Amino acid sequence: MAGYDLSDVPTIELDENEHSALLGEEADSIQSDLMSEAVICVDEIDNVVGSDSKIATHHNVGQLHRAFSVLLFNSEGKLLLQRRAEDKVTFPGIWANSCCSHPLHCDSELEETNALGVKRAAIRKLEQELGISPAQISIDDFHFITNMRYSSRMNASWIEREIDHILLIKADVEINPNPNEVSEIAWVDQQQLEEWLIDEEGTKGVIAPWFRCIAARIMTDEWWTAAGDADACKLLADDIIHDMGDISHMLPNAEGSDLFTAIAEVKPFIENRIERALTHTSSERLSNAMMHLINGGGKRMRATLPWLVAKAVGDTHSGLLDVGAAIETIHNFTLVHDDIMDDDDIRRGLPAVHIAYDLPTAINAGDAMLAIAFEAMVVADGIDCNDLPFLVKRIGRMVRRVSEGQQLDLEFETRDHEVTEDEYIEMIRGKTAVMFLTCGEIGAYLSGADEETVQCMHDWGLAVGLCFQLMDDLLDIQSSTEELGKPAGSDIAQGKRTLMVIHALKQDDCPEKQTLLNVLGKEEEASAEQVSAGIDALQKLGSIDYGRQRAEEYHAQAHLLLDRIPQTPALMALRELTDLQLKRLN
């Protein structure tokens, strides 16, 4: 291996699972060894937050880390491209820029002044990958231009998640490619590169997603003329981190990840946004009350849904995470108030906010969360001001419809006459489904999708939301208290008119119907035995089967809507989300 041995660079010992992952991939032994290199983990604005192995930052969920991309020009003004060796663990056999890799977590490559750390790393990797002797180039020949943040998934196992520091250098060098790293090189002028970007198949092959972003979205004509001119490069340089979002769709034949891996990729960024917004208050008690349910956990499905939808139908950017954080904050606000109105003492296995604190504080915390959600979204850097009217209107509609749905739910419990099935569907459309449809609609809109696709994802969200609530009703009576985080069968004791109860009450008078009526709405007076008997009555009346049938109808409708969307790697996560509640019950 040219350039250096692993004993020369910082490494992190791989654990058994990481070794197994490489063995399972039948990875090249040299490339497997390189997976122990200690790379620099960063936050969204490139602040160093720690270090981890190369495999940890690229496998499964991966981690955001620092990288560099070198654009090496020769004296003829041509740019060097390299084709990654087939032995590479990630993105083998595709064409990329002259050299792309990672600065390592050591003092010399952590230095940020004048980008010295990434420049030193570039010299190290140019030798190791291309056999370019450090004697042929000087660190002063490199010019930092800009940064780019992106993620790109190759398949379910491997992903790039980087803040990429882009360096220009002009030098005539002797190249001796390391075949374990580089299988082929090419020198291209500006026109040849543009033709290649337009027609990969008609030229030499597939271009790496990150280099496509550099060449097509960032690189200007001035880059070609500035290479080698220190003053011109200095004028081009900026401190911007260009937000490319998830660019997996740029790689032909890329494969998506499962739902929970897709959620985990962005969940920490969303939770950071939520915590930052809810703790930005002078009242510690109010802040703690607002954070109570957030700290209690949660899958953050609604929070990540705008991002997931955008990935499936268009482009992604950090603004989707800001919107997701706002929607999650609003969702938790509704839970705080729902627990008060429903007199529920437990949520996610914890005391409800009005129990952990007090009733007035819980009401106040919910009110503040609603205001903070809009405030945080409006001032978010990732949101264009032209998109705000659409977002405020749609999210405002969502909050209103949730309130209307909750009011109907409360009224249904004390109605003198029976609730109809249509009325129930209208209620859960507001109370539950509107959040899903809003996330689907907003995600598609912010991705730049056309009106037809935006409407399709709105309708998909509605179908998923209705299925979700119907299945949630089923889970309430077919799961344990430990699984639910609240008393099993509580909906029956509270007298909630779920679709199953509505179906049962429409049946002719019989002992089973009377058994249900004996427990329905009895609150604390209902014993566990009575609740269990009421559930058995629903089963015997065919109401549980009916509720499941209707849920499955919405489930099938949601999949038909996804069938109308062009197939992309990210669609896999939306399929799994559509199936989620059915799988929980099975």
Q: Rounded CA gap, 530 and 519, in Å?
A: 6
Cα–Cα distances (Å) from 400 to 128, 369, 482, in that order, read 60, 15, 32
pLDDT in tens, 329-341: 999 999 999 889 8
116 pLDDT above the threshold of 90: yes
Tokens 């040219």 correspond to: 2
Task: With a cut of 60, say whether residue 349 has pLDDT above it.
Answer: yes
What contacts 334, CB < 8 A, 6 or more positions away?
Answer: 366, 402, 406
Backbone angles phi, psi at 149, to 5 degrees: -110, 130
Closest CA to 107 of 46, 34, 48: 48
User: What mean pLDDT comes out for the span 258-262?
Assistant: 95
For the domain covering 6-250, report its CATH number. Answer: 3.90.79.10
pLDDT of residue 274: 95
pLDDT at 319: 95
Q: How far apart are CA 451 and CA 570, in angstroms?
A: 20
| Residue 81 reports pLDDT greater than 80 | yes
pLDDT at 442: 97
83 - beta bridge partners?
A: 95, 184
For residues 585 and 475, is the Cβ–Cβ distance under 8 A? yes
- pLDDT value of position 490: 77
What is d(CA 467, CA 370) in angstroms, rounded to the nearest whole number? 26
How far is 164 from 148, CA to CA, in rounded Å? 5
Percent of the chain with pLDDT over 70: 97
**Residue that has been written with the tokens 């190249």 in this structure:** 175
332: β partners: none
Q: Are 319 and 446 in contact (CB under 8 A)?
A: yes
Q: Which residue has the tokens 């999708």?
A: 449
pLDDT of residue 60: 96
Say if residue 476's pLDDT is above 90: no
Flag whether pLDDT at 382 surpasses 50. Answer: yes
Q: What is the pLDDT of residue 415?
A: 80
Look at residue 374 in the predicted model and tell me its pLDDT.
Answer: 94
What pLDDT sits at residue 19? 87
552-568 residue pLDDT tens: 999 999 999 999 999 99
What average pLDDT does the structure give for the chain? 92
Range with the poorest average pLDDT among 166-180, 210-224, 324-338, 476-490 = 476-490
Architecture per CATH, domain 259-573, reads as: Orthogonal Bundle (1.10)
Give the max Cα distance, the chain: 94
Show me where the domains of the chain are located: 6-250, 259-573
Give 345 or 371, the one with higher predicted confidence.
371
| pLDDT range class, residue 215, cuts 50, 70, 90 | very high
Q: Is the pLDDT at 405 greater than 80, yes or no?
A: yes
Instruction: Give the confidence band of 549 by pLDDT, cuts at 50, 70, 90.
Output: very high
Q: Is the pLDDT of residue 2 over 60?
A: no
- Lowest-pLDDT choice from 18-32, 391-405, 415-429: 18-32
Tokens of 384: 């264009």
Band of pLDDT at residue 1, cut at 50, 70 and 90 = very low
Say what the pLDDT of residue 488 is: 66
**Confidence class for position 103, pLDDT limits 50, 70, 90:** very high
Q: pLDDT grade, residue 586 (50/70/90)?
A: low
Most confident of the following: 21-35, 41-55, 378-392, 527-541: 41-55
Same fold, 6-250 and 259-573: no
Answer whether residue 257 shows pLDDT above 70: yes
pLDDT greater than 80 at residue 7: no
Q: Which long-range contacts (CB under 8 A, 24 or more apart) does 529-538 make?
A: 531/488, 531/489, 531/492, 531/493, 532/489, 534/489, 534/492, 535/477, 535/478, 535/489, 535/492, 536/512, 537/504, 537/512, 537/513, 538/477, 538/500, 538/501, 538/504
Give the residue, 265 or 349, on which the prediction is more confident. Answer: 265
**Confidence band, pLDDT 50/70/90 cuts, at residue 233:** very high
**pLDDT band for position 71 (cuts 50, 70, 90):** very high
